[in-house]
Amino acid sequence: MLIYWKPGKLMPLTLEDVARLSGVSRSTVSRVINHDPNVSETTRQKVQEVLDQIGFQPNLAAKGLVSGKTNIIGVVIPTNVIKIFSDPYFPLLLQGISASCNALGYFVMLWLSEPEYERHMITQILHNGLIEGVIIASVPIRDLIVNSLVDSHIPFLMVGRHPLLDVSYLDVDNVQAARNAVMHLVHLGYRRIATITGDLDQISGADRFQGYLNALREAKLPFSQLLVAEGEYSEEGGYKAMQRLIKQKPEAVFIASDMMVFGALRALREADLRIPEDIALVGFDDLSSSAITNPPLTTVRQPIVKMGNLAAEALIEMIETGSTEKKRIIVDTELVVRQSCGAYLSGAALN
Partner DNA sequence: ATCAGTACTGGGAGCGCTCCCAATACCACC
Partner DNA sequence: GGTGGTATTGGGAGCGCTCCCAGTACTGAT
> Per CB under 8 A, which region of 128-136, 187-195, 197-205, 214-222 contacts a second copy?
128-136
∠ CA 278-347-254 to the nearest 5 degrees?
40
Return d(Cα 51, Cα 29) in angstroms, integer.
Answer: 9
Asked if 16 is part of the footprint of DNA (rule: CB under 7 A), the reply reads yes
Closest CB to DNA among residues 20, 192: 20
Return d(Cα 331, Cα 236) in angstroms, integer.
Answer: 29
Longest dimension (CA), the chain: 85
Strand partners, 169: 158, 328
CA distances from 89 to 51, 129, 202, 312 (A): 40, 30, 15, 16
Asked if 39 is part of the footprint of DNA (rule: CB under 7 A), the reply reads yes
Tell me the closest approach of the beta carbon of residue 255 to DNA, in angstroms: 50
Instruction: Find which of DNA, a second copy, none residue 34 binds, CB within 5 to 8 Å per kind.
Output: DNA
CA distances from 87 to 81, 259, 272, 297, 304 (A): 10, 7, 26, 17, 12
Q: Which of 45, 53, 59, 224 binds DNA (CB under 7 A)?
A: 59
Closest CB to a second copy among residues 90, 254: 90
Strand partners, 6: 9
Asked if 17 is part of the footprint of a second copy (rule: CB under 8 A), the reply reads no
Which of 147, 138, 209, 197 has the alpha carbon at shortest distance from 171? 138
Tell me the closest approach of the beta carbon of residue 106 to DNA, in angstroms: 15
Q: Which residues bind DNA (CB under 7 A)?
A: 11-12, 14-16, 23-28, 30-31, 33-34, 37-43, 58-59, 62-63, 65-67, 129
Q: Which residues bind a second copy (CB under 8 A)?
A: 1-2, 10, 12, 55, 57-62, 64-65, 70, 72, 75, 82, 85-86, 88, 90-92, 94-95, 98-99, 102-103, 107-114, 117, 121, 123-124, 126-130, 152-153, 235, 239, 262, 266, 269, 287-289, 292, 294
